[in-house]
Amino acid sequence: MNHLADWVSFVVTTLQRWPLYRTVRVMETVQYSKRQFALKVRAELASGALQVRLYCNGEHTDYAYHLVRGDESVRWDNKEHFPSISTHPHHFNTSGQVEASPLTGDPSHDFPLVLHYLTDSTD
């Protein structure tokens, strides 16, 4: 997938198939060029909200998956502000802690991992 429409479709369809999904809205799409674009999608869940942000520039993707559920906030992203993390720049923020992350920057690999984590954390 190298086009904005493909990524929007992937994120929205994946959320709509997820059991915790209630509603989904595409909040923003920006096409800078054929291979450079950004998107923001927000989903209301059975409890909480999940925001997905992707910025793609050729082969590189910046991402942030952010869940807010009551007082809980968890976030995966690849901003380069934690160089000491073994998976730098990929990291996971939870309960005020920053941890290594299994994400790679490939949304087709990463997004299902995020949803699996969120499904397991609601049990």
> How high is the pLDDT of residue 91?
96
Cα dist from 3 to 16, 37, 90, 120, whole Å: 20, 8, 23, 31
In terms of DSSP bridges, do strands 36-45 and 60-69 run parallel, antiparallel, or are they unpaired?
A: unpaired
pLDDT, one tens digit per residue, over 53-95 is 999 998 899 999 999 988 889 999 999 989 999 999 999 999 8
Bridge partner list, 97: 94
Predicted TM-score of the model (pTM): 0.94
Domain ranges of the chain: 4-121
> How high is the pLDDT of residue 123?
57
